[in-house]
Amino acid sequence: MATLIITNGDIAAGTLATARPEATILPWRDVLHDGPVRELSAEEFRAERAAFLADGVVNTVQSVTAELTERDALVAGHHGFDRIELWFEHDLYDQLQIVQVVDMLVAAGRRQDLYHIPSPRHLGPIPPDRIGELEKLTLPVNAAMFSTASAVWSAYRQPALNALDAVRKEPIAGFPFLGHAIHRALQDLPDANGLTRTERQMLYSIDRGLTLPGVLFARVLNMEEAAFLGDWGFYSRLSNLAFAAVPLITGLTERFEPAVMHDDKRRKAYVTTPLALTTYGAEVLAGNEDRAARNVIDFWLGGTRVTNDNLWRWNDKTETLVAPRK
């Protein structure tokens, strides 16, 4: 029986390839919680994601485009597989991937012999001889799950966040971690002081003495219920705090770019140079300043570009989405 296993990345793919040598393994290499994720044609979507994901060092726009095209072609050729298994974790990174995957399979006409293995822990540390224990969690993907995945994936790609906020409030059958993941995505909108949850965790930790960026990264991940950030995403966010018009932290050796992680000397300096809050950073953290009043806000959450002129916020006290002022 030909089996296709789709999972979240290379580490899990390697483990599953060892445990299941008879299967075809497809790692889903896309960081969907960062960069534009808009409602486009398949070709346009690949082009926009490739432009964002290319690091200019190892992965070029051309190589990423080719990889995404090959990945999508394998999904489109699903008829060649008797069984498809979706091995995804509980965090935001994975939950966005699984709704994209299921939606693509629905569009390709796959509605049978599709199974979801929802892991409540990260797959990477699990050895090959133990990963099979998760198979007891296997769920056949049913009609309700197809509808849910497509609804969430569509909502995530909209130019406004109301639909995404609405779907998290509805029952989400078959995806036990999806509601929390959407909630966590919305928490990375600016609060009343202009800080996302991730940024607030960074400043809080620096203020309490965790000043080395490498140690800070580990600490911030440990503050998550389900860690989802990779080093690129973490250091990009940290860099934005340091190199803002009015900086919130000081000490970073340079503005982050992916090339830093590929140069031993630059990487070592980057992760070991002590950081400190600026006076302004301390005031923002204390709730006395709004970062958005003096600094540029410009990032994507799915299909929504969050800027000073389109400033979606998250009220952490009431757990509610706050739409931009008209």
Residues of the chain with CATH 1.10.10: 197-296
pLDDT category of residue 56 using cuts at 50, 70 and 90: confident
Q: Is the pLDDT of residue 170 over 90?
A: no
Q: Is the pLDDT of residue 326 over 80?
A: no
Residues of the chain with CATH 3.40.50: 3-187
Query: What number does CATH give the domain 197-296?
Result: 1.10.10
Q: Is the pLDDT of residue 47 over 90?
A: yes
Contact 213, 242 (CB under 8 A): no
pLDDT value at residue 71: 97
Question: How many percent of the chain have pLDDT more than 70?
Answer: 100
Q: Is the pLDDT of residue 74 over 80?
A: yes
* Cα distance between residue 185 and residue 303, in whole Å: 13
pLDDT value at residue 171: 79
* Count of residues in the chain: 326
**Residue 217 burial class via C-beta count within 10 angstroms: exposed 0-12, middle 13-18, buried 19 and up:** buried
Instruction: Return left, alpha or beta for 303; rule: phi > 0 is left, psi -120 to 50 is alpha, else beta.
Output: alpha
First and final C-alpha spacing in the chain: 57
Helix axes 178-187, 92-107, angle to 10 degrees: 120
pLDDT value at residue 173: 84
Q: Is the pLDDT of residue 32 over 90?
A: yes
pLDDT value at residue 245: 98
Report, as an integer, the average pLDDT of 287-312.
98
1.10.760, 3.10.450, 3.40.50, 1.10.8: CATH of 3-187: 3.40.50
pLDDT category of residue 147 using cuts at 50, 70 and 90: very high
pLDDT value at residue 122: 96
Report, as an integer, the average pLDDT of 297-314.
98
pTM: 0.96
Report, as an integer, the average pLDDT of 157-173.
93
Q: Is the pLDDT of residue 101 over 80?
A: yes
Mean pLDDT of the chain: 96
Report, as an integer, the average pLDDT of 225-241.
97
From residue 245, give the alpha-carbon distance in Å to each of 132, 275, 276, 281, 310: 50, 17, 17, 12, 19
Report, as an integer, the average pLDDT of 88-114.
97
Report, as an integer, the average pLDDT of 1-26.
96
